[in-house]
């Protein structure tokens, strides 16, 4: 294994990302991986509105209630610059009852693992 791959792998690991240590990647592949983050399980990067719809649907399924209430509890998804927030470029500040906020925060922690980076809505 080349030294460059080891350094890059350790750097990605420190950022909460992983890459196989079994082979030496070419520089363009590493640059793309670092610039675009880990690949999403669902293919293309998720948009802010898709993320909000996903969160609302999961809360309705897991906790119950209606979509309108959960949309109010979650509030807007704030998109941050990837230069200053390289690990997770979005945030939500839920408001509501203690139970609603707790359910939302628990779900947000889970979803951040699968979708740490989102893009702005198109159009």
pLDDT averaged over the chain?
80
For 51-61, the pLDDT digits (tens) are: 999 999 999 99
Residue 88 covered by a domain: yes
Residue 51 covered by a domain: yes
Same domain, 99 and 75: yes
Same domain, 29 and 81: no
Same domain, 18 and 57: no
Residue 41 covered by a domain: no
Place of tokens 């939302």: 104
Same domain, 54 and 89: yes
pTM as predicted:
0.65
pLDDT on residue 57: 97
Element (H, E) at 101: helix 98-114
Residue 101 makes CB contacts below 8 A (sequence gap 6+) with 73, 94, 95
Q: Cβ distance 73 to 98 under 8 Å? A: no
Q: How many domains is the chain built from? A: 2
Cα–Cα distances in Å, from 43 out to 38, 75, 76, 114? 11, 26, 24, 11
For 28-77, the pLDDT digits (tens) are: 444 444 444 555 555 568 999 999 999 999 999 999 999 999 999 999 99
Same domain, 31 and 67: no
Same domain, 83 and 52: yes
The parent domain of residue 23 ranges over 3-36
């Amino acid at each position: 294994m080349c030294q460059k791959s080891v350094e890059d792998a350790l750097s990605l690991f420190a950022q909460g990302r992983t890459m196989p240590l079994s082979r030496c990647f070419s520089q363009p592949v590493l640059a793309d991986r670092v610039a675009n983050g880990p690949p999403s399980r669902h293919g293309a990067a998720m948009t802010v509105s898709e993320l909000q719809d996903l969160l609302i649907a999961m809360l309705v399924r897991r906790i119950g209630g209606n979509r309108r209430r959960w949309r109010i509890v979650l509030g807007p998804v704030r998109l941050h610059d990837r230069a200053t927030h390289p690990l997770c470029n979005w945030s939500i500040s839920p408001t509501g009852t203690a139970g609603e906020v707790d359910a939302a925060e628990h779900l947000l922690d889970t979803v951040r693992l699968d979708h740490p980076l989102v893009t702005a809505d198109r159009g």
